[in-house]
Every structure is written in structure tokens, then in C-alpha cells.
């Protein structure tokens, strides 16, 4: 029985938490702002209200089908609340001028854009960033992105994308943090903090938009825009928490997803948008659709026509229609027919006007239009330096036989071979905002840029990324034979991941594997730099005696950062946040799966009636959390002490190699018996630490029983007493383990 004082204390604490989270949601909205909005709302015509609920692209950038080319006329009419794909001070100023000087009520516009991994300075793709396990760096990259974007007129980004994804066929895995929910929550919060800062009225912060709500990452068969269907338990346990983490971090807007949930498209899903997001989670920003996702409900088959779709969306809780024009065209007649409520329209307008007030746009609509800032705060040397370090930190060393890497200092001639060795365009990856590919540093350039270099760099493409043309093989082999060391630059084109970029075959495309085999035959030492936006099936390449460095798409500073790792100026410390399968047939394969009733037992490999494949192992090629260093680490002295509701786990990690290095020490837990079956392992903590050569560091993790909680059929989250295994290690497969009892 809880004591009276304890109960009272808990109640006060709860009130404090609720009010703190309400404050973080309010983001600087003052009572004066609120009364100004009341007055404004009273003076608005229905058409002007509906205008605030409409978002159109300026057509500067194409991110979907174009439906409405007359956005300038609409702005002057007061029929637009926000514009996206328009940036640079002059252009934004001109459009804003139309809104605040030519429209009747002079309500300023919000300017949105997909600032996904940088604005002008492009950072590694989000999946790569997550592999750094460096939350401070992730936050800082968004801080810089916001600084650059707001210096060019923008004040709203369509990020973070926090969709948990377990299927690498889906091209959009590149935009998220990978397969793990716990880590996904940390990354989501860091990104929101980075974009929004602590003060949205500061001119270098912007409203973030958590997307795609919800569960877009679970598209069937990894095909983009495809159906999502899962149990409520899976939705709550694995897919929803990162969106919630973004809401708790105070995210100012949320975007609906293209997919359906339990047969209802997200954009029409009142349970999702109103009951869960607004009522349960207390979200106080505005909800925008994804690109024409209201109209797409006709194709989904839950709306008869666009008008019907608009009705469903507004009644579900969608505040702003992105590019679909359905609110503009149909909300007025729907109101007349009493199919929608004026109070819902008013509430949506209020959320959007509040966002404008939070940004300070009513005080000064041109506050993001500073030419001086545009000149001074974009692509600065400090930003480039940070980007370069972030590239190096996001690389994951997958394989390094015979210490092929780092490249020895006495090398005189390096041959870079492969279609991605000198391709500036590909370095940006997908969603590169206003990034200029011409400013990207390729691998060849990065190798040449090293100060005081004593080696020559030569380059041959060898083949293209996707086709079967082998005519360049001979020249590549010839050149490789003249070098002391070969770097193969292989992988996907930048456009092969991201939206609408699903693949049914996740091998390294084209004839690149063959090229690799031919180059290895030269007998030269070979390291592979892999460029890709998703885990690939690389078993064939992996079987060769080569080192493999996963470099993803590093953005503007790609080549410099990769060269830093290849030469050992930076000791790699990245760890995969998405499993690399042995082959496509294993997909979806992720570390936190269930055990099944007939688990495969490696001690009895011939057993037939167990959960296994006849033709390959259940184990992936590289598991979640995996990544090598140029040094080695050993783990010892795992201890776990349970004291009431607290669990203290300690471990010693020794750097057993001969250089300093950073290690991501990971803590996993398995709940051995649950009324709802539990995964074989769940990440519950990590520490990224620098350990000097020869040094041993003792680390401690402190969990509470809250960390053991999971969702039950009533969708309540609580823990169950019993036995747990705690695991600590350098990846999800190689760990030390200890069983504890928590009562």
C-alpha cells in the first residue's frame, strides 16, 4: 500500500511532469499571443480560415506530383497558410510580402522544406548518423541545419522521420534511425532539440515535424506506400514510441503517413490523430498531411472522392492539407452540408496560427529573411569541419582481415576503382535539401586533400553502378596492378534509396561484385568503401579477402571524412543500427525478434523441426550494434545488483589493441518469462566511451523497473517480476550475460 505522503508526492510529481511537458509543448506561446489569435479568428471569413489550412509547394523543388501551379494567386487571396519548397531570402521575402501586404488579413506564411540531413551543408544520411550513436552530434547537426535553413528564409522542416524500419528493401530506411525503438526514441528527441532549440522565437531555430505518423516503416514487402497491418501490441511496443518521444521533446508539428493502420489510412484515422496524439499524448502542435495523402484515400478505397476524403481528414484531426487542395475545394460545401463542424475548422486554424505566433511571425514576418545571415551563416568553415567529423563518426568498419586498414603510411600509389569513387552527385544521398552536389568532396578528392600526402591517387571507374557493361574492367585491372593499395568504391547510387526507391533485390547492383573479384585477383591489398542508403546483401563481397568500410552517403564532406578513417586519423567507432542480412531471403531480420516455440539450437544443427532455413543460417551477416575498430576491446567483470526497483549493471571494458579508440558499450535485457512473450534481447542503454590503449574502464548502467515494462493486451505498460538476463557487449550478438531476479 502506498503511503499517503508517497501518493501525494507522486501526484505532485505527476502534475509537475504534465505541466513541464505542457510548457515544452507551448514553446513560448504567451497569453498575449493567444488573445491576438482569438481576435484574428473572429475577423476571419470561412475562406480565410480554410486558406490557413492549405499548404502548397512553390514548385522550386519537386517532391511529389504537382497539382496547383497558381500558388502566388492563392497567397494574395489569403488561401494559403504555408508554402513549401521555397527558400533563399529574396524568394521567401517576395512570397511573404504577397501574404502580408496583398492579402486582406496580412497573416504571414510559414515556409517549410525537407531539411532532412542538412540544408546547404549536407551531413551523412540519417541512418548513417544513427550509426554514430552520438546523440550530441546528431543534435548539433540539426542545430546547424536549422541555422542554415532559417538563414535562407525557412522556419519549418519536415523532419525528423522516426519510422522504425526492419525491411531494407524499403528505400526510406535511409531517412530513419534504423530498427531499434529504444534508440529511435533517443534519436527522435535529439533531432527535435536540434531543430527547435529551447526558444522557437530565436531566428535560428525552426519548427520540426515528426513523421510519418504512424508506422510507415512497416510497409508490406518493403514496397513504398504499401499497406501496413500489425497488431495493436506491436504498434504500441515497437512503432509508436519514437513519435511519442518527439512529442515529449516538444515537436511543433506532425505529419500523417501514407499508409493505413488497421484498415484506416492515417490521414483519416481519428483514433490515431485525435484520441492518441492529442488526447493521450497531449500534442499541441499542428497536424499536416503527407503530400496529397487526403486525395490518395480515394485510391485506398475508404473515400468515394476528394470531397469525401476531405471530410474524413478534418473529422479525424488533420489540420493542414499538403498540396491536395481538398480543404480549399471542399470544406466550405461540407460545412454547408453539416458534414464537418466549424469548431473543428476553428481549432485547426488556431493550431496553425499558434505555430506562427511561436515563430514570432506576427511580430515580424520577415524575421527569417536576413541577407546578412544568408551570407554569413551558411556553409561556414566550422560547419564543414563538423560535417567532416560526423562523416568519419558515421562510418562502420565491417571487416578488416589482416589489419588491411588503416592504409599504411608508406604507400606510394593508391588506385581508387569503382563507380562511386569520384561521383559528387551520389555523395549527397537522397533528400539533400538545398545541398549543392558540386560542393561535395568525393573519395578521390578526399584522398588528395590530405595535407602533406606522400602518395599518388589514380582513378578508374571500372563499371557503372547498375548496368552490365564490363568494358571498363580491363583498364581498372591494369591500373590497380600498378598501385600499392586499392580502394574499391562500390554500392548504390544516391537516388536508389529514399522515397519511392524500394528494391526487390538488395545486392550490390550491376557487375560491381565481379569487378571486385577481378581486382582482388591482382593480389593487391584491397579495402572497400561501400556507399549505400540501406543495408545491402553483401555476402559475395564479404567472402573476398578485403576490408569493408560502410560509409553510407556522407554528404558534402563525404570524401574528407572517409579519408580520415581510411588513414586512421580517426579510429572508426560506428555501429550498425540496422541488421545486414546474409541474403534477401532472411528479410525482415532484426535483433530483437522473438524466440519462437521451436528455436534453432546451434548445438544441434541437424534438428529438423525447428525454426530455421534449410539453406542458410538464421544469423545475419552483421548484427545490430556491430562495428569494428582499429583497436580491440575485451569485456569482463559483468556484475548486476538488484536493489528494490533499481538494477545496477557494471562492466569493465579494456582496450586490448595498440591505439586509442571509442567503443559503444551496449546493454540489452531479456525478460525470460512474460505474460506477453518478450524478444530475445532488447536494447536498454549504451555508453560511447573513449578508452586509451591498454586502459580499462569500468562502466555502470542504472536501470529501474520502468525499463522492464512492456505493453499488455489492455495497452497498459507495466513490468512483471521474475528472471531477466542482462547482456553487455560491443554488439547485439556478442555479449556477456548474467541472470538476475527482480521481485
Residues annotated as part of the active site: 290
Q: Does 152 bind ligand BGC (CB under 6 A)?
A: no
Q: Does 226 bind ligand BGC (CB under 6 A)?
A: no
Rounded to 5°, angle at Cα 67 from 66 and 72: 95
Q: Does 64 bind ligand BGC (CB under 6 A)?
A: yes
Strand order in 722-729's β-sheet? 682-691, 661-671, 722-729, 735-742
Residue 305 to residue 211: CA distance in whole angstroms: 25
Q: Residue 57 in contact with residue 71, Cβ under 8 Å?
A: yes
Q: Residue 655 in contact with residue 633, Cβ under 8 Å?
A: yes
- Which stretches of 264-386 are assigned E, i.e. beta strand? 264-265, 286-288, 321-322
Beta-sheet pairing, 722-729 with 264-265? unpaired
Q: Residue 586 in contact with residue 469, Cβ under 8 Å?
A: no
Nearer to ligand BGC, 158 or 626 (CB): 158
Q: Residue 595 in contact with residue 680, Cβ under 8 Å?
A: yes
> Could you say which residues in the range 433-492 bind ligand BGC, by CB under 6 A?
none
Beta-sheet pairing, 110-113 with 82-84? parallel
Q: Does 499 bind ligand BGC (CB under 6 A)?
A: yes
Chain-centroid distance of CA 601 in Å reads 35
The b-or-e profile of 467-503 (16+ CB within 10 A means b, else e) is: eeeeebbeebbebbeebbbbbbbbbbbbbbbbbebbb
- C-alpha count within 13 angstroms, C-beta hemisphere, residue 448: 13
**Shortest gap between Cβ of 55 and ligand BGC (angstroms)?**
9
Q: Does 705 bind ligand BGC (CB under 6 A)?
A: no
Cell numbers placing 546: 578485403
Residue 568 to residue 110: CA distance in whole angstroms: 45
Q: Does 68 bind ligand BGC (CB under 6 A)?
A: no
Nearer to ligand BGC, 211 or 681 (CB): 211
Nearer to ligand BGC, 242 or 581 (CB): 242
Beta-sheet pairing, 156-157 with 209-213? unpaired
Beta bridge partners of 697: 653
Nearer to ligand BGC, 290 or 492 (CB): 290
Nearer to ligand BGC, 158 or 386 (CB): 158
Q: Does 321 bind ligand BGC (CB under 6 A)?
A: no
Residue 262 to residue 229: CA distance in whole angstroms: 6
Nearer to ligand BGC, 176 or 510 (CB): 176
Task: Quickly list H helices, 484-580.
Answer: 512-520, 539-542, 558-566
Considering only residues 63, 234, 632, 725, which one is a binding residue for ligand BGC as defined by CB under 6 A?
A: 63
**Shortest gap between Cβ of 162 and ligand BGC (angstroms)?**
12
Q: Does 710 bind ligand BGC (CB under 6 A)?
A: no
Residue 249 to residue 185: CA distance in whole angstroms: 10
Q: Does 662 bind ligand BGC (CB under 6 A)?
A: no
**Shortest gap between Cβ of 172 and ligand BGC (angstroms)?**
8
**Shortest gap between Cβ of 644 and ligand BGC (angstroms)?**
45
Nearer to ligand BGC, 82 or 526 (CB): 82
**Shortest gap between Cβ of 207 and ligand BGC (angstroms)?**
13
Cell numbers placing 199: 526558444
Considering only residues 290, 308, 377, 682, which one is a binding residue for ligand BGC as defined by CB under 6 A?
A: 290
Q: Cβ neighbours of residue 506 under 8 Å, at least 6 residues apart? A: 168, 169, 534, 535, 536, 537, 581, 584, 587
Residue 309 to residue 340: CA distance in whole angstroms: 12
- The binding track of 92-121 with respect to ligand BGC, each residue x by CB under 6 A or -, is ----------------------x-------
**Shortest gap between Cβ of 158 and ligand BGC (angstroms)?**
3
Nearer to ligand BGC, 142 or 290 (CB): 290
**Shortest gap between Cβ of 196 and ligand BGC (angstroms)?**
17
For the chain, the distance separating the N- and C-terminal CA atoms, rounded to the nearest angstrom, is 16
**Shortest gap between Cβ of 541 and ligand BGC (angstroms)?**
31
**Shortest gap between Cβ of 89 and ligand BGC (angstroms)?**
21
Q: Does 158 bind ligand BGC (CB under 6 A)?
A: yes
Residue 23 to residue 597: CA distance in whole angstroms: 47
- Residue in 723, 642, 73, 664 with CA at minimum distance from that of residue 397: 664
Longest dimension (CA), the chain: 82
- Strand (E) or helix (H) holding 242: helix 241-248
Nearer to ligand BGC, 109 or 565 (CB): 109
Q: What are phi and psi of 156, to 5 degrees?
A: -150, 125
> Count of residues binding ligand BGC (CB under 6 A)?
8
Q: Is 299 exposed, middle or buried (0-12, 13-18, 19+ CB in 10 A)?
A: exposed
Using DSSP's 3-state secondary structure scheme, residue 693 falls into coil
Rounded to 5°, angle at Cα 566 from 663 and 549: 65
**Shortest gap between Cβ of 246 and ligand BGC (angstroms)?**
14
Considering only residues 291, 630, 710, 711, which one is a binding residue for ligand BGC as defined by CB under 6 A?
A: 291
Nearer to ligand BGC, 114 or 179 (CB): 114
- The binding track of 166-205 with respect to ligand BGC, each residue x by CB under 6 A or -, is ----------------------------------------
Considering only residues 27, 166, 193, 211, which one is a binding residue for ligand BGC as defined by CB under 6 A?
A: 211
Nearer to ligand BGC, 82 or 345 (CB): 82
Nearer to ligand BGC, 255 or 653 (CB): 255
Beta-sheet pairing, 54-57 with 321-322? parallel
**Shortest gap between Cβ of 496 and ligand BGC (angstroms)?**
17
Residue 441 to residue 19: CA distance in whole angstroms: 47
Q: Does 139 bind ligand BGC (CB under 6 A)?
A: no
Beta bridge partners of 640: 649
**Shortest gap between Cβ of 375 and ligand BGC (angstroms)?**
27
Residue nearest ligand BGC, CB atom distance: 63
| Chain positions contacting ligand BGC, by CB under 6 A | 63-64, 114, 158, 211, 290-291, 499
Amino acid at each position: 500500500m502506498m503511503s499517503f505522503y508517497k501518493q501525494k508526492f507522486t501526484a505532485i510529481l505527476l502534475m509537475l511532469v504534465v505541466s513541464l511537458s505542457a510548457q515544452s509543448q507551448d514553446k513560448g506561446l504567451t497569453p498575449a499571443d493567444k488573445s491576438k489569435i482569438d481576435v484574428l479568428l473572429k475577423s476571419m471569413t470561412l475562406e480565410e480560415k480554410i486558406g490557413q489550412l492549405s499548404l502548397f509547394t512553390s514548385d522550386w523543388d519537386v517532391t511529389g506530383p504537382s497539382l496547383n501551379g497558381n500558388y502566388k494567386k492563392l497567397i494574395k487571396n489569403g488561401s494559403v497558410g504555408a508554402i513549401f519548397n521555397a527558400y533563399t531570402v529574396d524568394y521567401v521575402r517576395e512570397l511573404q510580402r504577397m501574404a502580408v501586404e496583398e492579402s486582406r488579413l496580412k497573416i504571414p506564411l510559414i515556409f517549410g522544406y525537407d531539411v532532412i540531413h542538412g540544408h546547404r551543408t549536407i551531413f551523412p544520411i540519417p541512418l548513417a548518423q544513427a550509426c554514430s550513436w552520438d546523440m550530441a552530434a546528431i543534435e548539433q547537426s540539426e542545430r546547424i541545419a536549422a541555422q542554415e535553413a532559417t538563414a535562407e528564409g525557412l522556419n519549418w522542416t519536415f523532419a525528423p522521420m522516426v519510422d522504425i524500419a526492419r525491411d531494407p528493401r524499403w528505400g526510406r530506411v535511409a531517412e530513419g534511425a534504423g530498427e531499434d525503438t529504444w534508440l529511435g526514441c533517443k534519436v527522435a528527441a535529439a533531432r527535435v532539440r536540434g531543430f527547435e532549440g529551447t526558444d522557437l522565437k530565436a531566428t535560428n531555430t525552426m519548427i520540426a515535424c515528426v513523421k510519418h505518423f504512424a508506422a510507415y516503416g512497416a510497409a508490406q514487402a518493403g514496397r513504398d506506400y504499401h499497406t501496413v497491418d500489425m497488431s495493436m501490441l506491436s504498434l504500441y511496443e515497437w512503432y509508436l514510441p519514437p513519435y511519442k518521444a518527439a512529442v515529449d521533446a516538444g515537436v511543433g508539428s506532425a505529419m500523417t503517413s501514407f499508409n493505413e493502420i488497421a484498415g484506416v489510412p492515417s490521414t483519416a484515422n481519428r483514433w490515431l490523430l485525435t484520441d492518441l496524439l492529442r488526447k493521450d499524448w497531449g500534442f499541441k502542435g499542428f497536424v499536416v498531411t503527407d503530400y496529397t495523402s487526403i486525395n490518395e484515400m480515394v485510391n485506398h478505397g475508404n473515400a468515394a472522392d476528394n470531397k469525401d476524403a476531405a471530410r474524413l481528414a478534418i473529422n479525424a484531426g488533420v489540420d493542414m492539407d499538403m498540396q491536395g487542395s481538398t480543404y480549399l475545394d471542399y470544406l466550405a460545401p461540407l460545412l454547408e452540408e453539416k458534414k464537418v463542424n466549424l469548431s473543428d475548422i476553428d481549432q485547426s486554424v488556431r493550431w496553425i496560427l499558434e505555430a506562427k505566433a511561436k515563430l514570432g511571425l506576427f511580430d515580424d514576418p520577415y524575421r527569417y529573411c536576413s541577407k546578412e545571415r544568408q551570407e554569413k551563416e551558411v556553409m561556414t568553415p566550422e560547419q564543414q569541419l563538423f560535417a567532416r567529423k560526423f562523416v568519419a563518426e558515421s562510418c562502420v568498419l565491417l571487416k578488416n582481415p589482416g589489419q588491411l586498414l588503416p592504409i599504411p603510411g608508406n604507400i606510394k600509389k593508391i588506385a581508387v576503382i569503382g563507380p562511386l569513387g569520384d561521383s559528387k552527385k551520389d555523395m549527397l544521398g537522397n533528400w539533400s535539401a538545398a545541398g549543392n552536389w558540386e560542393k561535395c568532396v568525393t573519395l578521390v578528392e578526399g584522398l588528395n586533400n590530405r595535407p602533406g600526402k606522400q602518395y599518388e591517387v589514380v582513378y578508374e571507374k571500372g563499371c557503372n553502378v547498375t548496368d552490365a557493361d564490363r568494358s571498363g574492367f580491363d583498364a581498372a585491372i591494369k591500373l590497380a596492378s600498378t598501385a600499392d593499395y586499392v580502394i574499391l568504391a562500390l554500392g548504390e547510387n544516391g537516388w536508389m534509396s529514399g522515397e519511392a526507391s524500394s528494391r526487390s533485390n538488395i545486392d550490390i547492383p550491376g557487375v560491381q561484385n565481379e569487378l571486385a573479384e577481378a581486382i582482388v585477383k591482382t593480389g593487391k591489398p584491397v579495402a572497400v568503401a561501400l556507399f549505400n542508403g540501406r543495408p545491402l546483401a553483401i555476402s559475395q563481397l564479404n567472402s573476398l579477402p578485403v576490408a569493408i568500410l560502410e560509409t553510407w552517403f556522407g554528404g558534402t564532406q563525404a570524401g574528407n571524412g572517409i579519408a580520415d578513417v581510411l588513414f586512421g586519423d580517426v579510429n572508426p567507432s560506428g555501429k550498425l543500427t540496422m541488421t545486414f542480412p546474409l541474403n534477401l531471403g532472411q528479410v525482415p531480420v532484426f535483433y530483437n525478434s522473438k524466440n519462437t516455440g521451436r528455436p534453432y539450437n546451434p548445438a544441434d544443427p541437424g534438428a529438423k523441426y525447428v525454426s530455421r532455413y534449410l539453406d542458410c543460417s538464421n544469423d545475419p551477416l552483421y548484427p545490430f550494434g556491430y562495428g569494428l575498430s582499429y583497436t580491440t576491446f575485451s569485456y569482463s567483470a559483468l556484475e548486476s545488483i538488484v536493489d528494490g526497483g533499481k538494477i545496477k549493471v557494471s562492466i569493465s571494458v579494456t582496450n586490448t589493441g595498440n591505439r586509442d579508440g571509442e567503443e559503444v558499450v551496449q546493454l540489452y535485457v531479456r525478460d525470460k518469462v512474460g505474460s506477453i512473450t518478450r524478444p530475445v534481447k532488447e536494447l536498454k542503454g549504451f555508453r560511447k566511451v573513449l578508452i586509451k590503449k591498454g586502459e580499462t574502464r569500468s562502466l555502470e548502467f542504472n536501470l529501474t523497473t520502468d525499463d522492464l515494462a512492456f505493453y499488455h493486451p489492455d495497452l497498459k505498460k507495466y513490468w512483471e517480476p521474475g528472471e531477466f538476463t542482462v547482456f553487455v557487449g560491443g554488439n547485439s550478438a556478442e555479449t556477456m550475460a548474467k541472470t538476475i531476479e527482480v521481485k
